[in-house]
């Protein structure tokens, strides 16, 4: 897991994956291990000119790739999955060291990424259209066609999977892809993906991997060769991406932030409720768009629940996941740590009680529980993206619905109750893209559509049955035996 890793070429450390080659970039950036602050190597950063060259090369390569036999495209995806399975230890290692993932989270991410490749391998053999009714003598067809070049801008938190869930189906359906991973996780979110497809035999030019900053992302959204942008990241950045891409009439898929509510009803098993809450709040240090951002607990069990959650938070070990078995690793960088510390401080000033945590050492943020959080408290409204449980009491089901829906976000919600009928009735009233009964808010199985509403996204979904709709477009086609003699 160093710059000399035999599976990743030395050329990786000077540039990007451009037109099937590891090529040099003018600007370089160190790859930082957040747990230690040490450099793991360097990565090249693409500028706007390189983005333009890559998009043009991708557009040229895409035509032959789309015309390739479906079995050829499927075999590339299958081989990429096999290679990922063979190199899973390397994938996990990079996720641990570069993104600060615990080994549990990194192992899950690597496995779900492999599953995404297997699922994508089935897409080339799917039906590509249907026959429509028409007048006698005319064949009337509707068929799905690749978009062309898809620009994928992926985040740092689940860098491998959240990039692959867009890259793999887009390629499988005959598109070319320009991937711009977050520069903080350019290896596990970009380089390893490029390496997998390179070794799997993907033709040159079909995948371009270009780490870069906001300027590179802006170049991607405006490039005339790019037909679609799939963006996963913060709502603030997503608004800018959507505006820029819309200006150039590109299709846009935005998967953004969340302030997700977990509702604990008064008939819930307290120990199970706490276990679900801890997973939803503290997994990957809370740096997940689906993380449980608000824990709504019915007042009659609120105090008992709070005591158990505080005890659970205090029991969780924090440390360097590359060197010891821990429940929580580091936050991605100082900016994220300082944001979390500010929200916690502002929450206490606004009347919340700091039940435990709230402290940090370097990038390691202690598991935190905030109680007595009101609807006008900053912690109730702001996405924290850190290991902070925000606990809010409610009196009845109607109030639970009001509190859960009292947010600009609408990504994921969950309800824990022994009464499934009651939970389903309550769930029908929630404004959310994802809903889980008797589970927590962090869920994804690859085969499911994934997307939110409101400030959590533009309503489109990727994943599962949505992939064909997302990465292709309809074409209407008619065929007659001979051209008609029109009267004009």
Active-site residues, by number, are 255
Residue holding tokens 């996720």?
95
Sequence-ordered list of residues with C-beta below 8 angstroms from that of 372, at least 6 positions apart, any chain: 351, 352, 353
Residue holding tokens 């009651």?
422
Question: Are the C-beta atoms of residues 176 and 58 closer than 8 Å to each other?
Answer: yes
Q: How many CB atoms lie within 10 A of CB 137?
A: 10
How far is the C-alpha of 388 from the C-alpha of 381, rounded, in Å? 13
Helices (H) and strands (E) in the chain, counts: 15, 23
What tokens does 72 get? 């050829």
Residue 358 pairs in a beta bridge with none
Enclosing H/E stretch for 40: strand 39-45
What tokens does 205 get? 């030019």
How far is the C-alpha of 331 from the C-alpha of 313, rounded, in Å? 17
Q: Is 412 helix (H, G, I), strand (E, B) or coil?
A: strand
Question: Are the C-beta atoms of residues 484 and 135 closer than 8 Å to each other?
Answer: no
What tokens does 312 get? 């659970």
Q: Is 376 exposed, middle or buried (0-12, 13-18, 19+ CB in 10 A)?
A: exposed
């Amino acid at each position: 897991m160093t710059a000399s890793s035999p599976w990743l070429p030395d050329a990786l450390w000077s540039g990007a994956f451009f037109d099937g080659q590891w090529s040099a970039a003018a600007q370089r950036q160190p790859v930082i291990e957040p747990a230690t602050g040490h450099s793991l190597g360097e990565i090249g950063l693409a500028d706007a000119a390189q983005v333009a060259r890559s998009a043009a090369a991708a557009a040229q390569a895409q035509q032959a790739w789309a015309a390739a036999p479906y079995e050829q495209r499927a075999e590339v995806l299958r081989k990429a999955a096999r290679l990922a399975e063979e190199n899973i230890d390397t994938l996990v290692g990079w996720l641990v060291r570069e993104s600060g993932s615990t080994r549990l989270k990194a192992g899950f991410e690597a496995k779900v990424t492999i599953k995404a490749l297997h699922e994508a391998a089935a897409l080339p053999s799917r039906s590509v259209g249907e026959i429509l009714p028409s007048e006698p003598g005319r064949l009337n067809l509707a068929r799905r066609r690749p978009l062309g070049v898809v620009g994928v801008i992926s985040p740092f938190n689940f860098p491998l999977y959240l990039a692959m869930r867009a890259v793999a189906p887009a390629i499988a359906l005959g598109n070319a892809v320009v991937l711009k991973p977050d520069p903080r996780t350019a290896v596990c979110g970009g380089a390893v993906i490029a390496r997998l497809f390179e070794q799997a035999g993907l033709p040159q030019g079909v995948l371009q991997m270009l780490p870069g900053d906001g300027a590179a992302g802006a170049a991607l959204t405006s490039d005339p060769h790019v037909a679609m942008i799939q963006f996963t990241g913060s709502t603030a950045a997503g608004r800018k991406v959507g505006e820029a891409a819309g200006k150039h009439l590109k299709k846009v898929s935005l998967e953004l932030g969340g302030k997700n509510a977990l509702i604990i009803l008064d008939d819930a098993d307290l120990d199970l409720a706490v276990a679900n809450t801890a997973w939803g709040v503290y997994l990957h240090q809370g740096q997940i768009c689906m993380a449980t951002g608000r824990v709504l607990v019915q007042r009659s069990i609120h105090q008992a629940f709070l005591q158990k959650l505080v005890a659970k938070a205090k029991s969780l070990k924090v440390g360097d996941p590359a060197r010891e078995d821990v429940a929580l690793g580091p936050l991605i960088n100082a900016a994220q740590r300082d944001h979390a510390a500010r929200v916690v401080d502002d929450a206490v000033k606004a009347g919340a009680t700091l039940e435990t945590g709230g402290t940090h050492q370097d990038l390691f943020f202690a598991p935190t529980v905030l109680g007595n959080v009101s609807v006008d408290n900053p912690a109730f409204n702001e996405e924290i993206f850190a290991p902070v449980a925000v606990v809010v009491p409610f009196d009845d089901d109607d109030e639970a619905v009001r509190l859960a829906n009292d947010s600009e976000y609408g990504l994921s919600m969950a309800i824990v109750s022994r009464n499934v009928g009651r939970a389903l009735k309550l769930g029908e009233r929630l404004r959310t893209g994802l809903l889980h009964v008797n589970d927590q808010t962090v869920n994804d199985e690859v085969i499911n559509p994934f997307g939110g509403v409101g400030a959590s996204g533009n309503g489109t979904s990727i994943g599962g049955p949505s992939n064909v709709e997302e990465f292709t477009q309809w074409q209407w086609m008619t065929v007659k035996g001979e051209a008609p003699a029109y009267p004009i």
